[in-house]
């Protein structure tokens, strides 16, 4: 799915702002014309007169008339986006990138591994897969955050855990009062992970350090590089494979990714 005209901005109304954690908000956007996207594709979201930046929608690709974008406050633009109020007009361009290979999962298992705000792009994948659970063998979701206050979409965890053929587990890095769940970084949920390994694809999104150690843990567990898809986040400019700012070897992450099969990139420097 590619934008008819990637330069053409689509106006949208900010209809709701959800406070997820002290530093993360979800903006619910209503584009004037629906913006179909595949899970894992990204959009450029902007405030008129301020600027734009890449974000991966966290909502269901099955509902293109409503686009959620979950944003971690890290600098000037994300700070301004956090200050936006319902009713304001914003600008979307896209979608860009390839998106997750959802169709390759027919008859297989999916293992979804998220760290921190990395659960946002994966939520679109989770929704896409929930829409085709009749074709999937099983979906396991492993999610880690530093502490309870930083767990994303906490209101949905029980719902996901209760869906047949879905296994959801969350962990926090250190023990905290009131937390009875698993403690330890997300890789600790992968030791001896209960999935049909030869018949499973793994999707990982999170900070660079988490991507690195999760990949090593998955390889130790016996997964092959071609089973592992990493959401690669690099500074991007054109979003269309033209400016050369986002490459790993011959691949442009904006065009060939941002989710890349590990086997394709593993031998290039600075992957993580």
Ligand X SMILES: Cc1cc2nc3c(=O)[nH]c(=O)nc-3n(C[C@H](O)[C@H](O)[C@H](O)COP(=O)(O)OP(=O)(O)OC[C@H]3O[C@@H](n4cnc5c(N)ncnc54)[C@H](O)[C@@H]3O)c2cc1C
- CB 205, CB 118: distance < 8 Å: yes
User: CA-CA distance, 215 to 217, in Å (whole number)?
Assistant: 5
Task: Tell me, residue by residue from 179 to 218, as one string, x for binding to ligand X by CB under 6 A and - for no binding.
Answer: ----------------------------------------
User: CA-CA distance, 33 to 11, in Å (whole number)?
Assistant: 8
CB atoms within 10 A of CB 130: 16
Q: Is 117 in the site for ligand X (CB under 6 A)?
A: yes
Question: Closest distance between ligand FES and the C-beta of residue 8, in Å?
Answer: 18
Question: Closest distance between ligand X and the C-beta of residue 194, in Å?
Answer: 29
Q: Which is nearer to ligand X, 140 or 233 (CB)?
A: 233
Q: Which is nearer to ligand X, 42 or 100 (CB)?
A: 42
- What lies within 8 Å, CB to CB, of 117 at 6+ separation is 24, 70, 72, 152
Task: Tell me, residue by residue from 23 to 42, as one string, x for binding to ligand X by CB under 6 A and - for no binding.
Answer: -------------------x
Q: H helices within the chain, ranges in order?
A: 76-83, 119-130, 154-161, 208-220, 253-256, 262-265
Helix (DSSP H) and strand (DSSP E) numbers for the chain? 6, 15
Q: Is 127 in the site for ligand X (CB under 6 A)?
A: no
Question: Nearest-CA neighbor of 255 among 263, 264, 246?
Answer: 246
User: Which of ligand FES, ligand X, none lies near 244, with the C-beta cut-off 5 to 8 A by kind?
Assistant: ligand FES
Question: Closest distance between ligand FES and the C-beta of residue 191, in Å?
Answer: 36
User: Which of ligand FES, ligand X, none lies near 238, with the C-beta cut-off 5 to 8 A by kind?
Assistant: ligand FES
Which spans of this chain sit near ligand FES (rule: CB under 6 A)?
236-239, 241-246, 252, 254
User: By the criterion CB under 6 A, which residues form the site for ligand X?
Assistant: 42, 53-56, 70-72, 74-78, 117, 120-121, 233-236, 258
């Amino acid at each position: 799915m590619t934008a008819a005209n990637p330069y053409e901005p689509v106006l949208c109304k900010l209809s709701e702002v959800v406070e997820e954690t002290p530093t993360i908000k979800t903006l619910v956007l209503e584009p004037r014309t629906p913006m179909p996207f595949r899970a894992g594709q990204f959009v450029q979201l902007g405030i008129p007169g301020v600027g734009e930046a890449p974000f991966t929608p966290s909502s269901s690709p099955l509902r293109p008339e409503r686009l959620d974008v979950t944003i971690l406050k890290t600098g000037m633009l994300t700070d301004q986006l956090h200050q936006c109020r319902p009713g304001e007009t914003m600008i979307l361009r896209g979608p860009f990138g390839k998106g997750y290979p959802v169709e390759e999962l027919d008859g297989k298992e999916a293992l979804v591994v998220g760290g921190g705000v990395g659960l946002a792009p994966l939520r679109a994948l989770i929704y896409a897969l929930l829409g085709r659970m009749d074709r999937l063998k099983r979906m396991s979701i492993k999610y880690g955050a530093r502490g309870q206050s930083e767990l994303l979409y906490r209101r949905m965890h029980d719902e996901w855990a209760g869906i047949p053929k879905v296994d959801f587990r969350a962990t926090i890095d250190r023990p905290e009062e009131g937390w009875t769940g698993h403690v330890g970084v997300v890789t600790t949920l992968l030791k001896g992970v209960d999935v049909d390994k030869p018949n499973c694809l793994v999707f990982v999104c999170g900070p660079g350090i988490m991507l690195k150690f999760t990949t090593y843990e998955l390889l130790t567990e016996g997964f092959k590089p071609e089973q592992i898809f990493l959401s690669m986040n690099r500074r991007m400019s054109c979003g269309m494979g033209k400016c050369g700012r986002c490459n790993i070897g011959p691949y442009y992450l904006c065009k060939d990714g941002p989710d890349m099969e590990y086997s394709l990139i593993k031998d290039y420097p600075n992957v993580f």
